[in-house]
Amino acid sequence: MTAARRAGAAALLAAGTLWAGCAIGPKYVRPAVAVPPAYKETPPGETGHDWVAAQPADTAHRGTWWTVFHDRTLDRLEAGLTASNQNLKAAAAQFLQARALVRAARSAYLPQIVAGASITPGAESGTKPLRSPLAARSYTDYLVGGDVAYEPDVWGRIGRTVQASRAEAQASAADLEVVRLSLHAECAIDYFALRGLDARKQLLNESVAADERALALTRDRHAGGLASGADVAQAETQLETTRAEAIDVGVQRAQFEHAIAVLLGRPASTFSLPARPLTTAPPPIPPGFPSQLLQRRPDIAAAERRVAAANAEIGLTSIAYYPLVTLTGGAGFESGSIGDWFRGLSAFWMAGPAAALTVFDGGRRRAAAEQARAAYDEAVATYRETVLEAFQEVEDNLVALRVLHQEARTEDAAVAAARRSLALAMIRYKGGVANYLEVTSAQTAALADEETSVSLLTRRMAASVLLVKALGGGWTSASLPSGNPGP
C-alpha cells in the first residue's frame, strides 16, 4: 500500500470515529402524558378503608408484595410460582433472546475478520482463446488468507440499531415483569377465593348442623302432636337444601386448587391445600401519588421503551439516504505448487475504503421512512393508552375497596339482625306461637346474609390484590436492565 493510500484510509477511519457520536435522525424525547394530581377515589379526610393515604415511607408493596397479607401459606405458594411457573420461564427466555440481539447489534462496532484456506485442482480448456499451447492444462491452486471488513459508524447507523435493539430488550424485560406480576396476582386471587370457599363451606356445615337439630326438634314435636307433618317436611327440605349447597362448594374449591397447582408448575393430581377458612380482613394498601405510577408499572415502562425503539427506527430510515462507507482488506498466500505456497513471492494483500450510495430505488426509502413514522405514532398512542388504563385500574380498585368496606359494615349489621330474628323465630316456634314456616324464612335469610358477608370479604381481598397489581407491585422502572448487557 502506498503512503497516500495508507493516509487516506487512516483519515477515513478517523472521520468515522469522529462522526460516530453524531447520529442522523430525531433525538428521543419521552412523550408527554396527562397525570392527575391525586386519585379521585381517595378523598382526603376519609378513614377506615382498606387503603391509606400516600405516605413518604411507602414500603407496603416493595419486593415480595404478597407478604403484606401475612399468610405463610400464600408466601410459600408465591415462592413456588417464582421457581417453577412455565409461563414465567417462557417470558424469561424471551428476554434472554432480546438481550442476545443487543449483543449482536453491538458486534457491528468491531471489524469482521474471516480466515480460510483452500486447495483447488482444475484444468483449462485446450481450446481456450489466446492460450499458449506450451502451458500445462491442469493446475492446483493453493490458497490461505483472510479478509477484514469494517463499517465505521459515520452516520450513526450502528448506533441507531443498537439503540433500537436495546430499547426492545428493555421492553422485553418489562414484559417479563408484567407476566411475573400478573401470575403472582392470579395466584393470590385464586388462593383467597379458595379460602373464601372454605369459609362458606364451614358456614354451610354449621348451618347443616343447626338444621339437623331443628329437624330433630320438629320430629319430636310432631310425635307429641305439637307440630304438623308439613313442619317436618319443611325442616327436611331446609336441611337437604343446605347439604346440597355444602356439597356444591367442593366443585369450585377443587377447580381453584387445580389452577394454583398449574401456576406452581405442578400436575393438579399431585397438589392439595388443607381447608382453612378466610377470616382476616385485607391490610391497608397505600396507593402513593399518581405521578409515581409511571415508574411503578412495568407495562407502562414496556410501552415507553417501544416508543424509544420506534424513534431509533426513524433514524435508521433517515440514514438510508447517506452513503454506506466500509473499509475492507485481505492478505494471504497463493501458489500453484505446495512447495512455493508460503514463500514471499506467494504473498498477496489488498486494502482500501469503499462507499456506496443508492441513487434510485423507486420510492422504497421514502416508504420505509413513512412506515417508521407511522409506527412511532402508533407506539406513542399505545403508550398513552397504557397510562390511561393504568390510572383506570387504580381508580377501579380504590373505589371497589371503599365501597366494599362500607357494604361489609352494613352487611355485618344485617347478619347480626338475621341471627336475632332466627333466635326469636325458634323461641316462638318452641312456644307454639309460630309455625315452622317462620323458622324456615329466618334460617334462609340468616344463611343468605352470612354467605354474602363471606363473599364480600373474599371480594375485598381480591380487590386488595388487584390494587397492588395496578400499582405495579414492588417493581420500579429503575429495575430495567442497563444499556450494556453482559456477555
Query: How far is the CA of 429 from the CAs of 95, 191, 342, 421, 448, in angstroms?
Result: 69, 42, 116, 12, 21
Q: Cα 252 to chain center, whole Å?
A: 27
Q: Is the pLDDT of residue 111 over 70?
A: yes
**Res. 256 pLDDT band, cuts 50 70 90:** very high
Tell me which residue of 367, 315, 264, 38 sits closest to 157, measured CA to CA.
Answer: 315
Q: Is the pLDDT of residue 455 over 70?
A: yes
**Res. 429 pLDDT band, cuts 50 70 90:** confident
3-state DSSP helix/strand/coil % of the chain, to nearest 5: 60, 10, 30
Query: What pLDDT score was predicted for residue 49?
Result: 66
Q: Is the pLDDT of residue 94 over 70?
A: yes
Query: What pLDDT score was predicted for residue 286?
Result: 85
Q: Is the pLDDT of residue 163 over 80?
A: yes
DSSP 8-state secondary structure symbol assigned to residue 335? E
pLDDT averaged over every residue in the chain:
88
DSSP 8-state secondary structure symbol assigned to residue 471? T
Tell me the range of 50-59, 254-263, 329-338 where mean pLDDT is highest.
Answer: 254-263
Mean pLDDT of 221-225: 88
Cβ count within 10 A of residue 44? 6
Q: Phi, psi (5° rounding) for residue 484?
A: -120, 90
Percent share of the chain, pLDDT over 90: 68
Rounded-to-integer distance, Cα 265 and Cα 86, Å: 6
Cβ atoms of 87 and 179 closer than 8 Å: yes
Render pLDDT for 27-63 as a digit per residue (tens, 0 to 9): 999 999 999 988 888 765 555 566 565 444 444 445 6
Q: Is the pLDDT of residue 462 over 80?
A: yes
What global pTM score does this model have?
Answer: 0.86
Q: Please report the domains of the chain, with CATH numbers, ordered by start residue.
A: 37-115+143-322+357-479 (1.20.1600.10)
Rounded-to-integer distance, Cα 210 and Cα 217, Å: 11
Beta bridge partners of 355: 325
Mean pLDDT of 343-358: 89
Mean pLDDT of 128-134: 72
Rounded-to-integer distance, Cα 15 and Cα 323, Å: 14
Q: Is the pLDDT of residue 166 over 50?
A: yes
Rounded-to-integer distance, Cα 466 and Cα 397, Å: 7
DSSP 8-state secondary structure symbol assigned to residue 478? G
Render pLDDT for 63-81 as a digit per residue (tens, 0 to 9): 689 999 999 999 999 999 9
Amino acid identity, position 312:
A
Query: What pLDDT score was predicted for residue 342?
Result: 84
Query: What pLDDT score was predicted for residue 99?
Result: 93
Q: Is the pLDDT of residue 161 over 70?
A: yes
Query: What pLDDT score was predicted for residue 52?
Result: 61
- Tell me the residue length of the chain: 487
- Is 430 or 395 the better-scoring residue by pLDDT? 395
Q: Cα 206 to chain center, whole Å?
A: 42
Mean pLDDT of 383-411: 95
Q: Which of 19-33, 257-271, 278-292 has the lowest average pLDDT?
A: 19-33
